[in-house]
A and B are shown apart, each in its own frame.
Chain A
Amino acid sequence: MVIPRVSLAKEEIEDARSLSESQRLEMGGDLFDDACEVTLSGIRSENPGVSENDAINILRQRLELAERLEIPL
């Protein structure tokens, strides 16, 4: 089933309105921390035996890549 984009956007806006300001303020950092944990799990799975420091270095390289990709050429 194809969900019309306009419905998804409305839902996102209603969800955001249902949160308090402090919940919305804290959510960005929490989502980042959760996303990093998932990515680190993926890095460990792709690189069996990788050290914690090396896994974090790979994560940082990916974050830097994401930053470069954000800037339109």
Chain B
Amino acid sequence: MTSNALVLRVIQSLEHFGIDYMLVGSYSSNIFGVPRSTKDADFVIEVGEKSLSPLFQSLASDLIFDSQMLLESVTMTLRYVGRHPASGFKVELFMLSSDPFDQERFRRRQPKSFLEATAQLPTPEDVIVQKLRWFERSQRPRDREDVKNVLAVQRGKLDLEYLRGWADQHRTRALLDALLLEVSRLT
């Protein structure tokens, strides 16, 4: 099974069990930026009172999920991690948090074509806001590069007022402005 087929299988299972979701992480920066290889697919899911056991059971032939929920130390959100044994490809399911931005980007998610189906993804602005936050907290160079690539590819189409508003709230405005300047020299 290919990695994309595996991601589609997760999407179809989430939809089957009525679990609202959004595909985030590198899949979301790839669609709006410069594509790069990704060894995992990250989902934000809204579970509410539902149990995830039926979902895990339905995916068990392709994904082995850790039995315990983990705390993501960068964003302080809870997640389940599943692995495809044959390839090592990972699927992470992050619980939608009460963080105002997490709530807002989830509300603004939009359908996009993926293989022969549709996947729910954040807007390009929300990918940028979240990746800026990740970079500020983890200093992972890849996140900075992803932001720069989305800013460059989407240049002229972005709602800069929206970006600056959240960047001010998250104290990432200096980084955003620096990357906007870098991109203006490239494109």
- Given the interface pairs A21-B113, A72-B138, A72-B139, the reply to whether A27 lies near B30 with Cβ below 8 Å is yes
Chain B residues near A67 (CB-CB < 8 A): 39
Complexed CA–CA distance, A33 and B187 (Å): 31
CB of B76 closer than 8 Å to a CB of A: no
Q: A29-B38, A32-B89 are in contact. Are A24 and B3 (CB under 8 A)?
A: no
Whether a CB of chain A sits under 8 angstroms from the CB of B34 is: yes
- Chain B, residue nearest A66 (CB): B39
What chain B residues lie within 8 Å of A31 (beta carbons)?
Answer: 35-38
Is B119 positioned at the interface, with any CB of A under 8 Å from its CB?
yes
Interface assignment of A30: CB less than 8 Å from any CB of chain B:
yes
A21-B113, A70-B140, A72-B139 known; A30-B31 Cβ under 8 A: no
The answer on a CB contact under 8 Å between A19 and B35 is: yes
Question: What is the 8 Å Cβ interface bit string for chain B, positions 19-49, against chain A (1 contact, 0 not)?
Answer: 0000000110011111111110100000000
Main secondary structure of the interface of B (DSSP, over half): mixed
Residues A6 and B86 in contact in the complex (CB < 8 Å), given A16-B35, A17-B153, A72-B140:
no
Q: Which residues of A have CB within 8 Å of B35?
A: 16, 19, 24, 27-28, 31
Majority SS at the chain A contact face: helix
Task: Establish whether residues A35 and B31, one from each chain, have CB atoms under 8 Å apart when the complex forms.
Answer: no
For B3, what are the chain A residues with a Cβ–Cβ distance below 8 Å? 29-30, 32-33
A13 touches B112 (CB 8 A): no
Query: Shortest Cβ distance from B28 into chain A, in angstroms?
Result: 9
B150 to A: closest C-beta gap in Å: 10
Closest CB pairs A-B (n = 7): A29-B3, A27-B35, A31-B37, A28-B38, A29-B4, A60-B88, A25-B31
Give the A-binding residues of B (Cβ under 8 A): 2-4, 7, 26-27, 30-39, 41, 85-89, 112-115, 119, 121, 138-142, 149, 152-153, 185-187
16 contacts between A and B (CB under 8 A): A9-B152, A10-B186, A12-B34, A13-B153, A13-B187, A16-B153, A21-B113, A24-B30, A26-B115, A27-B30, A29-B7, A32-B89, A35-B37, A59-B88, A66-B39, A72-B141
Contacts A36-B88, A63-B39 given; 7 further ones with Cβ under 8 A? A12-B34, A16-B149, A21-B31, A31-B36, A36-B87, A60-B88, A70-B140
